[in-house]
Every structure is written in C-alpha cells, then in structure tokens.
Structure 1
Amino acid sequence: MFETDRLQLRAVREADFEKLRVLWNDPRAQKMRTRDFVVPLGDKKFDEMLRARLSSSLLYVIIETKDSHEFVGITSLFNLQQKNRDAMLGLALVHEFWGRGYGGEVVRFIVDYAFEQLALHRVTLDVYGNNAAAIRVYNKVGFIQEGVQRKANWIDGKWQDVILMAVLDEDWEASRKGDLKIVS
C-alpha cells in the first residue's frame, strides 16, 4: 500500500469491482476516459474488461481517503514500452471528489514512483481538450504538451482535441533540484 498526505493507494480487491463498475458507468467520468461510445457496461462485460486491464497494467490501484477509507477512484500505469521505459498514466476520480486537489496529489505521487522506483524514462498521457482542470493538474506536475490530435474525439455533440502530454525523467529530476520552473 502507498500513501500520500491524504490518500492511500492499494491493490484492487474483488470487493472493489462494484465501486469500479459504478465509476466506469458514470457518464461524467466515462466520457473523460475513453474514446469509445459512452454506454453502460453490465457486470460480466465490465468484469472481463477490468480483469484484462489488471493483468496488463504495470500498476493499477484503488485510491481511497486515509482517514475514512472512502473510495476516491483509480490510477494506473499501462501500455508499458519496456525498451523505451515509457508507460501511460490513467486516472479516474469519483465525481464527488473532483476539485479537491486529489488528482494532483495522486499524479504527483505516481510520477515520483514511476521515476524513483520503476526507473521509467517517460510517463505519457492523453487528455481531452475540454478537460481544463486536468490539463492544469498535469502542467503543475510537470507534464509538457507534445502534440494535439485535432478534433479526434466526439463528446457531447462536439469534436474535442486530444492533447498528448509527457514528463521525462530528466525534467522531473531538474524540477526537484529547482533547475526547472513548471509553467501552469
């Protein structure tokens, strides 16, 4: 189990599947996570998808509050490119926990862990252009925009850009030494 100031990150248990299914099926969260159609998944289909993600991810953990053990969401490192030491970051929070600083706390921890413990060279992600709050969080942690897939995702009757971002181990190291200013 890992801990941040206010949160703990722990392995997924069978008992978590229902909470994860509810989070996945929340249209507010689902449309920020997937380029697929926003449709609810039933028990069997969701369980199959989750088991596949758990087995293929480098890291997939439950986020909960330290004090009351409330389910906050999940974070993961997946699509590991071993040769290039690059993994993608995934994050989904229950809507009630949006805007409380938990996203930044988790992302900062995962990036530190990726470079200090897993010896990754890059942590990458993509985020939809309409998700300004997430983009601010990623910038504060040190992610740099590397590209834009213009009008690549259809959400709520509009095309959204998909913004590709990454943080490199050398940028992360420089920011820890104070050599690099993170622009937000």
Structure 2
Amino acid sequence: MFETDRLRLRAVREADFENLMVLFNHDRVEKMLTSGFVVPLGVKAEKELREMCSSRLLYVIIETKDNHEFVGFISLWDAQMKNRDARLGMALLPSFWGRGYATEVLRFIIDYAFRQLALHRVSLHVFGNNTAAIKVYNKVGFVQEGVQRKANWIDGKWQDVIWMAVLDEDWEASKQEGPNPKTVS
C-alpha cells in the first residue's frame, strides 16, 4: 500500500469492481477514457475490467486516507521492458476533480515508476478537449510529443488526441515542485 499526503493507493479488491463500473459508466468520465462509443457498460465490460486489472504492470485504487472514499484508479500498462517505457492511465470520479488529487497521485506514481520500477519514460494520450488533465500533466512534467489531429469524435465534433511523455531526466528536473511521497508497508 502506498500513501501520499491525502490519498491511499492500494491493490484492487473484489468490492472495488462496483465502484470501478460506476466510474467507467459516468458519462463525463467515459468520454475522456475511450475513443469508442460512449454507451452503458455491463457484465462483459466488468469481465474485461477484471482481466485488465490483473494484467497491468500496476493497477491501484485511489482512496482518501481520512475516510476511505473511492476516488478512482491509476495504472501503468503496455510496458515495453526493453525500452523501459509504460503507458499511464487514470480516472477520478468527477466529485473529486479540482481538488489537487490528480496532481498528488501523478507525482507519486511517476516517482515510483522511475525510482522503483526503473522506467525511463512514462507515456500517455489525452483528448484535446480535456484541458484540465493537460494542465495537470504539464504541471507534473509531461511534455507534448505529438498530436493526432481530429482523431476522436465526441459530443458532435472532432477532438485531437495528444501524446505526452515524461522522461526520467525530465522528472529529476521537475520533482522539486512537490513533496516527496512516502511508501507505507
């Protein structure tokens, strides 16, 4: 189990799948996570989610430390060990947006990825209309590497897909901005 100032990051438990399905079925969240159709997700999606959780390099539940409220998840996946690269994915329930939780958890996971998992880079893609996420990613050291122009149709218009990454040397330069999170046994 890991802890930051306000959050706990822990392994997935059986009871978490109900909360994860609520998260993935929230229309504001789903349209920021998928390039597929935004549709209600059911039993088949839950089965795929269970398989996904167990196959990722890291998949942790984010909860508040004070009252154990489910906040969301963060994961590292599609790891290319030869190149020491992994992709990052995360989602928070909208009721937790704008509180600094994304920044807090990203700082921890990026630091963990470089210091403990010996990764060289952490990559992600984000939809161009997700300006709040882009701002947070930039704040923690991600750099835009490319744009797939008008690659995702959402809400009746085309959105760009922005590819970003942070390298271990970028992280060393930017980590001074936040507190150093701790690991808890």
TM-score between the two structures when normalised by the length of structure 1: 0.93
Whole-angstrom distance in 2 between the partners of 1:141 and 1:118: 18
Tell me the residue number matched to 2:56.
57
2:155 aligned with 1:174, yes or no?
A: no
Q: CA deviation at 1:174?
A: 2.7
2:95 aligned with 1:114, yes or no?
A: no
Tell me the residue number matched to 1:181.
none
Tell me the residue number matched to 1:12.
12
Tell me the residue number matched to 1:162.
161
User: What are the superposed Cα offsets for residues 109-143 of structure 1, whole Å, 9 maximum, x if unpaired?
Assistant: 11000001000000000011001110010001000
Tell me the residue number matched to 2:135.
136
Percent identity over the alignment is: 73
2:28 aligned with 1:28, yes or no?
A: yes
User: What are the superposed Cα offsets for residues 41-97 of structure 1, whole Å, 9 maximum, x if unpaired?
Assistant: 11x212211122112210000000000100000000001011111001111000100
Q: In structure 1, the residue corresponding to 2:59 is in which secondary structure?
A: strand
Q: In structure 1, the residue corresponding to 2:15 is in which secondary structure?
A: helix
- Runs of 4+ with deviation above 4 angstroms: none
Q: How does 1:73-152 map to 2 (within 5 A)?
A: 73-152=72-151
Asked whether the 8 Å contact 2:147–2:161 carries over to 1, the reply is yes
Question: What residue ranges of structure 1 are gaps of 5+ in the alignment?
Answer: 179-184
Q: 1:143 to 1:14 in 2, by over 3 A?
A: same
Aligned residues: 177
Q: In structure 2, the residue corresponding to 1:13 is in which secondary structure?
A: coil
Question: What residue ranges of structure 2 are gaps of 5+ in the alignment?
Answer: 178-185
TM-score between the two structures when normalised by the length of structure 2: 0.93
Q: In structure 2, the residue corresponding to 1:48 is in which secondary structure?
A: helix
Q: CA deviation at 1:172?
A: 1.0
Q: Higher relative contact order at CA 8 Å, sep ≥6: structure 1 or structure 2?
A: 2
